[in-house]
Amino acid sequence: MTAPPSRHIVLTGATGRISSLVARHLAAHHRVTLASRTPPPGVRRPGVRHVACDYDDPGSLAEAFRGADVLFVVTNDPTRPAHDRNILDAAVEAPVGHLVKLSAAAVRDGAAHDLVTRWQRTNEDRVKASGIPWTMVQPRSFMSHALAWAPGIRDHDATHALHPHSRNACVAPEDIAEVTARLLGDPRHHFRSYQLTGPQPLSAHEQTAVLAELLGRPLVCRDLSPEEARRGYARRYPQAMADALVESAGRQLAGAKAHTTDTVERLTGRPPTTFAQWAAGHRDRFT
């Protein structure tokens, strides 16, 4: 029997949630480079190394990407587009054999023109024009965003949301990571885009009910006004990002995020994780 090919896989954003989960799904025969400013915790095994790099420093990126068969690109700041340009320039220079980009489901929505979506569309267009074989991973909102409710649940038995009855087909980060690991370096997925969702659209009100059942106590989901939501976002993100998130919530209210896909099941051979399953796996974060 022929041994599976060994690849050198570079994961950017290695201290973030998705890349750290992807690393756990990669077979042991691959060489894996975790690229980030600081070493990520919790990934220790033979064949895995960390390389310090800075998205503002093209030289450090070129060093991190050298000899890579596959590059997984994760960036998270639309107010600093130079990061994305520097990463792509270094990937071309390396050169990288296959680039897998974590993007967003909203790029397919012709009515979506907020800052985050425009940024992701521009990034996708640049990757497609780079000459590197590419694959786009386009997830809907992460189920893990519900972790932001944890302090309110612990202290006040309450969650807070803008448009709490609007629905989003959110997806488990673990599902995104498993799908991504299967795409890396596989030529069958070159020049293809995959939109990932959970199995059903849920509102914040419905997610709160799931958490209440899991925790065994009543919880209430309280409505935020757009201004209250904007102020809350602005405490964590630049103002331009806060405005984009409020605008995106308006599209959710209009039903733009309720569509589901079968991509997770087609690529993993199992049904996508439900919100109840995801929450049960992270119960300790809410208690």
Summarize the confidence of residues 162-178 as an average pLDDT.
Answer: 98
Is pLDDT at 231 greater than 90 in this prediction? Answer: yes
pLDDT of 3 = 55
CA atoms of 127 and 101, how far apart (whole Å) = 8
**pLDDT-derived band of residue 28, with 50, 70 and 90 as boundaries?**
confident
CA atoms of 261 and 199, how far apart (whole Å) = 8
The structure tokens 């780079």 sit at 130
pLDDT of 91 = 97
Summarize the confidence of residues 126-139 as an average pLDDT.
Answer: 98
**pLDDT-derived band of residue 199, with 50, 70 and 90 as boundaries?**
very high
Is pLDDT at 121 greater than 60 in this prediction? Answer: yes
Percentage of residues in the chain having pLDDT higher than 70:
97
Is pLDDT at 46 greater than 70 in this prediction? Answer: yes
Residue ranges in 52-202 assigned as alpha helix (H): 58-65, 82-93, 115-128, 150-156, 173-183
pLDDT of 27 = 86
Residue among 23, 51, 24, 18 at smallest CA distance from 37: 51
Summarize the confidence of residues 141-160 as an average pLDDT.
Answer: 97
Residue among 97, 8, 96, 10 at smallest CA distance from 50: 10
pLDDT of 44 = 65
Is pLDDT at 86 greater than 60 in this prediction? Answer: yes
CA atoms of 248 and 246, how far apart (whole Å) = 5
Q: What is the CA radius of gyration of the chain?
A: 19
Return mean pLDDT, the chain: 95
Q: For residue 95, say if its preceding peptide bond is cis, omega within 30 degrees of 0.
A: yes
**pLDDT-derived band of residue 120, with 50, 70 and 90 as boundaries?**
very high
Q: Which of 47-61, 107-121, 193-207, 252-266 has the lowest mean pLDDT?
A: 47-61
CA atoms of 156 and 71, how far apart (whole Å) = 43
CA atoms of 84 and 13, how far apart (whole Å) = 12
- Cα distances from 270 to residues 184, 185, 199, 259, 267, in angstroms, run 19, 22, 11, 19, 8
Residue ranges in 165-274 assigned as alpha helix (H): 173-183, 204-215, 226-234, 239-253, 263-268
CA atoms of 114 and 273, how far apart (whole Å) = 28
